[in-house]
A = this chain, B = another copy of it.
Amino acid sequence: MTVRVGIINVTGFAGMEAARLLWNHPEAELVAATGRSLAGQQLGEAFPHLAAYADFPITSELEAEVDVVFSALPTGASAEACAPLVEQGVRVIDIAADFRLREPAAFAQWFGKDHPAPALLDRAVYGLAELHAGEIANADLVANPGCYPATTILALAPAVAAGLIEPRVFVDAKSGISGAGRGTGGGFSYSDVNEDVSAYRIANHNHQPEMAQELSRLREGPEVAVTFVPHLVPMTRGIHSTCYAPLAEDVSQSEVLALYRDFYADAPFTSVTDAPPHTKHTYGSNDCLVHPTVDERNGALVAVGVLDNLMKGAAGSAIENMNLMFGLPQAAGLDRPALYP
């Protein structure tokens, strides 16, 4: 039995990446895809790299029966579109931010509007398979993690869960430009962005509460305080998150490596590297590479995580969650080496 998948808003980068992955999925198939601005065009005509979908229309509403929907709408609009689907018994994986924060008040504070479907928040499962595979398997509504939080949480989770660090982290993340989305305005033009690094929304980005909430769930005691600064760097794909925290106890480099390796021993996509990892080693793959370093001089931990923001940071992770929800092998359709160079 093939899982029938619908994508809401296939015309954004995450949506089109999900379509790309589904083309080669052995047990799932794209059967419907919406996208208001391009409705009426064929998917393979609108996006030449998806030429394989030559006879697959983009529609304004989902026009086939589906088992699961990926929503890649903007935050706010996504919950509105997902709510009736959940009620109808369609499983939903929300790639937007609508179901990540558990408190409606937090949503209102960070996104500047009331949550459109607060009643669903309790049913939503945070879709990071390394931490919540069991819950995801039983979920009907999954909140796909944000790209920055996915990278950061995977870099820090073993240390937080083991109580290795103080609950005070500084997160410095560098993202490729595709994180800003498709069809974005002049600020992301090649001429402006090439040969440029800049920080934005310093200590004020809406992925910060998601990191704080999810890291805090991993340990007893006070909330984990997170200072988060995202940066744009001149590349298309990739996130590099460098996380700093005071050590809570004396620990050696080899002990930390062992603890991290143990934590991810069964994870098919997250692995611990001996040397600092490169974002390019995950280009187009669903891998997350993690590397902790003990700064003995200063009693601190530096934990690095890297991934492809459109794969493990968005569409790849959504496929992984779908696999878990439908009892398929976790790596189905995702077992691909990265593209290098």
Contact = CB atoms under 8 A, between A and B. Distances in A.
B23 A199 contact: no
A276 interface: yes
Contacts of A271: 51
Interface string A79-105: 000000000000000000000000000
Interface residues of A, number: 82
B295 A203 contact: yes
Which of A52, A238, A279, A341: most chain B Cβ within 10 A? A341
A199 B234 contact: no
A218 interface: no
Interface stretch (A65-73, A157-165, A221-229): A221-229
B198 A240 contact: yes
Interface of A: 13, 16, 20, 23-24, 47-52, 168, 170, 172, 174, 176-178, 180, 182-186, 188-200, 202-203, 225-227, 229, 231, 233-238, 240, 242, 244, 271, 273, 276-285, 287, 289, 293, 295, 297-298, 300, 302, 304, 306, 335-341
Contact of A190 (B47, B194, B225, B287): B194
Given A24-B336, A231-B242, A277-B48, A182 B174 contact: no
Contact of A273 (B24, B48, B297, B304): B48
30 contacts: A23-B336, A49-B280, A49-B282, A49-B339, A50-B337, A170-B170, A174-B233, A176-B195, A177-B190, A177-B194, A180-B191, A189-B189, A190-B190, A190-B194, A192-B341, A194-B234, A195-B235, A195-B237, A196-B235, A197-B240, A198-B240, A202-B276, A202-B304, A225-B297, A226-B298, A227-B298, A229-B242, A231-B242, A234-B235, A236-B341
B238 A196 contact: yes
A184 B186 contact: yes
Given A172-B242, A185-B186, 9 more contacts: A24-B335, A49-B283, A49-B340, A51-B281, A178-B341, A180-B191, A195-B238, A195-B283, A203-B297
Chain copies in complex: 4
Given A182-B186, A287-B51, A227 B302 contact: yes
A118 to B, nearest CB: 24
A203 B256 CA distance: 15
Nearest to A54: B271
A25 to B, nearest CB: 12
A103 to B, nearest CB: 16
A289 B193 CA distance: 17
A170 to B, nearest CB: 4
A285 to B, nearest CB: 7
A276 B184 contact: no
